[in-house]
Amino acid sequence: AIVMTRSRSPIRSLVSALADLPLAISPVMIGLAFILLLGRDGWLTPLIDALGISVLFSFGGLVLATLFVTLPYTIREVAYLLEELGTSEEEAASTLGATPSQVFFHVTLPNIRPAIAHGLVMTAARGFGEFGAVLILGGSIAGKTQTATTFIHDAIEERQLASAYAMALALALISVAILGALEGLKRSRSKE
């Protein structure tokens, strides 16, 4: 988000496009891309094997897929706030002798904390409903990689509609609760 708003180099446009990429393509395609990169014969498989990391059909794969698909919400939220704030406070701190790291940790980060929190809550709310990339990378293995959305899919496939509806309702209630909590936080901050 900082590169997208503070950099004046040509890389700014590339970073902005890459941040939006997960929103522009199908989550199923994202899952397939991860398999191409991290699968048995994947381009990055030697590296992750050397590090002892298991991605496909694991909890780590579920987290990776969900973060990749949903993190643009946080990035965009922070970028929007950075644009709104401008650079005057950061420039003032630099003029007064602050190092770039001091400017970031004592000026920029405190200013963008609310946007980071809001973006992460939105990321979590959206992440609960992720299906495509999670199914491709996780495989919906009961007791291991099955998520609420893949449970709903499996229940529908097995014609267990009551179970599917119950889980869908639970997901909806969780999302509404998260969004309600977010609104409550926004209101309490605006009163301060």
Half-sphere exposure of 48 (CA within 13 A, CB side): 17
Residue at token pair 């709903």: 152
Is the Cβ–Cβ distance between 93 and 102 less than 8 Å?
Answer: yes
Is the Cβ–Cβ distance between 57 and 137 less than 8 Å?
Answer: yes
Two tokens, residue 105:
């940790």
User: Per-residue pLDDT for the chain (192 aa), expressed as one digit of tens each?
Assistant: 888 888 888 888 888 888 899 989 998 899 899 899 988 888 999 998 899 888 888 888 888 888 888 889 889 989 999 999 989 999 999 999 999 999 999 999 999 998 888 888 888 888 888 888 888 888 888 888 888 999 999 999 999 999 999 999 999 999 889 888 888 877 776 666
Give burial (CB, 10 Å; 0-12/13-18/19+) of 178: middle
Is the Cβ–Cβ distance between 1 and 78 less than 8 Å?
Answer: yes
CATH topology of domain 2-141: MetI-like fold (1.10.3720)
pLDDT score recorded for residue 192: 60
Of 85, 74, 92, 72, which is closest to residue 111 (Cα–Cα)? Answer: 85
How do residues 47-60 score in pLDDT, each as one tens digit? 988 998 888 888 88
What's the DSSP call for residue 102?
A: H
Give the residue extent of every domain in the chain: 2-141
